[in-house]
Structure 1
Amino acid sequence: MQQSKYNIFKHTPAATYSIVREAIIHMVLATDMSQHFVKLGLLKTKDEEWLKQELSREDRLLIMSMVVHAADVSNPCRPLPLYLQWTDKVIQEFFAQGDREKALGLPISPLMNRGTTNIARSQCGFIDVIIAPLYNAMSEIIPQMRECVAHMRYNKDFWSSMSVLSIREEEMRKGTQKLPPLPDDFAASAVLKVHMKLPRTRTQLRHKEKQRTLRDIH
């Protein structure tokens, strides 16, 4: 940014630049997991109708920061083949750090001990505690994100299957854990059919109730 050829804001008025810079900093800091539950609590009070209103500065920063945060942790909401590729990269990085910590005689960080971390169980826990609450809340505000929720639910079912869990448990004891192969019948298009079966959003339920009331009146 200090070099003119890279500064995309060099023609931006100072007042506008200040606003944009503040928003960028706010969004980047929101990817810190220490803010996850506080911001998620605020988000859960909103729905699709909220975005149609005149939003305050704080509301705009909230939705922008949560979109970036959701993207940052979006791996479990991607189609299974892509999700497994990124899971492998993350797990290998975690285990490499755990190996190094062990070699140095340091306490091994959580989820980084290849001898005690079951990949399938850790992914299920991550989805249940972090991803599902976040993406369910986001899909109330941005219905298009329900496709992400459909992938997330399929991926959770994949990890939860007893065959996957038991194999990972045995591999963990041997120190030879690796990611499972795709199901023989996997098809992304079939996964997205789940999208049509997801529960209605609060906005959709209110709209349906309003239509029912109008029919009753007439």
Structure 2
Amino acid sequence: MSWRLKLANWLSGGALDKYRERAKLATSEAEQIELQKKSIQSQLERTQLELVQANAQLQISQGLQTELGETQFQLKKIQDENRSCQESLSATKQQLERSYSKLQQTTSDLAKSQDWLQQIDTSVEVLEIKKTLPKQEFNSLWGFGISSPQSQTLATAGSIIVRGWVLGKRNAVEGVKVTYGEQTLLEVAANLPTPIVTQQYPDIPQAANSGFEFPLMVAGIPAATELNLVAVLGDGSTIPLCALTFG
């Protein structure tokens, strides 16, 4: 320090040194403030950068949300189309099942038809006709006769004509039936005109209408099958007449 400054400081009672110390302190504080300012500026710049990055991230997120919404919309559309395809597939499957069932039925019917035609074309012969009228029933009938078929008759078109007459004595004969074992295959009335029987029994009124006639289907009948012809009386009782054996 020069002598003039020392003198001034002495004359001012050390005030100059104090001012100088205060100036240094103010300069130091100014420097610290400048440093703080620079730090705050740097922090502000980082904050602005982070804000920009945050805005960019937000835009990306919003874009992803939009894309997600579009993806969800497309997914729902695909699900709806898939559901529609499944319903269409189910309907098509049901239609195919019905068509297949009809095809199976048609095939089965065709097979049955072919089998039926084959059975019709197969010759069936009347091997034997034998009377089965029990002795204890001889007095129950005036008589009966079978004019068709005869032994050795061949069935045509899968059937034969059964024709004859039966005349009851104690009870009128209402009809005749064909049985196989315990099962009745068919039953017809015995009331057709029979002039020949009338000539044989002119005193019996029922003789004029004691005939019967019916076709008997024998297509496919097993060999050695025996069918029975049975008279049905007015009181509900029955009388065996004859048995027809086919081969």
Q: What range describes the TM-score normalised by the shorter chain of this pair?
A: under 0.3
Greater C-alpha radius of gyration:
2
TM-score (norm 1): 0.17
More strand by share: 2
Q: TM-score, normalised by structure 2?
A: 0.16
Using CA pairs under 8 Å that are at least 6 residues apart, name the structure with larger relative contact order, 1 or 2.
Answer: 1
More helix by share: 1
